[in-house]
Amino acid sequence: MELSHNTILITGGTSGIGLALAQEFKKRDNTVIICGRRADRLDEITLHHPGIITRVCDVADTAQREELVQWLVTNYPGTNVLINNAGIQLLTDLTNPCNLDRVRSEIETNLVAPVHLASLLVPHLRNQEDAAIINISSGLAFAPLSFMPIYCATKAAVHSVSLSLRHQLKDTPIKVYEIAPPAVDTELGHDRRDDKTQSHGGMPVDEFVKEAVEALQNNVYEVAVGQAENLRAKREQMFTVMNP
């Protein structure tokens, strides 16, 4: 993948992996556009990271996804890269009646949104040079944690969709990449922590971004970063280890 002179949309770009990718690609002379639900965070990013373009959008909302793409192709017709990064990670106890609003929110954000955005942008990306769709899945796509079954299932689905989309687009200029992170030191998963701003630890986000970008540069279409490689290579064994 060409790492400079692109116009890149990153969903879920207000924190964590999304923001770190935005900063890295901006340093590499790309036009970077991020979207997120929280206007206050986007305003803060505009203040502290001049040059990163922001747009308020809740990707869990169908109409807002459609409006985002219409705004994008109208105002930034050179857009040639979509990074589907937005995601939420919630606890779900399937041994009791579950809260379907939470289940639907997780599925809509983690799976439906990237599928829909990719389908909306493919007609535009077909006409762009060095076009790419980059899906952020997870090591948990291969070996799930049982206390967050919906999150893990959506990431397994993102992995499957990435394989299918790559095949469907094999005769087009659009490349499809999948990056599966390990546990990364971000706010993701704050649903299970009393302090919602606290990180769960894990791989430093800058280290993750370095490895992910290196894989993109080398046209590695599916990369499991760090400990995620163990989850992919030894999924049954790792499931037993993680779920005693």
Classify residue 14 as left (phi > 0), alpha (psi -120 to 50) or beta: alpha
The Cβ of residue 93 has, within 10 Å, a number of other Cβ atoms equal to: 10
pLDDT tens readout for residues 198-221: 555 699 999 999 999 999 999 999
Name the average pLDDT for the chain.
95
pLDDT tens readout for residues 69-102: 999 999 999 999 999 999 999 999 999 999 999 9
Give me the domains of the chain, ranges plus CATH numbers: 7-242 (3.40.50.720)
pLDDT tens readout for residues 9-43: 999 999 999 999 999 999 999 999 999 999 999 99
Tokens of 138: 């997870």
Residue type present at position 64: Q
Task: State residue 193's pLDDT score.
Answer: 40
Write down the residue that tokens 């992996």 correspond to: 17
Nearest CA-CA partner of 155 in 137, 177, 182: 137
177 an active-site residue? no
In angstroms, the CA 118 to CA 139 distance is 22
CB 226 within 8 A of CB 208: yes
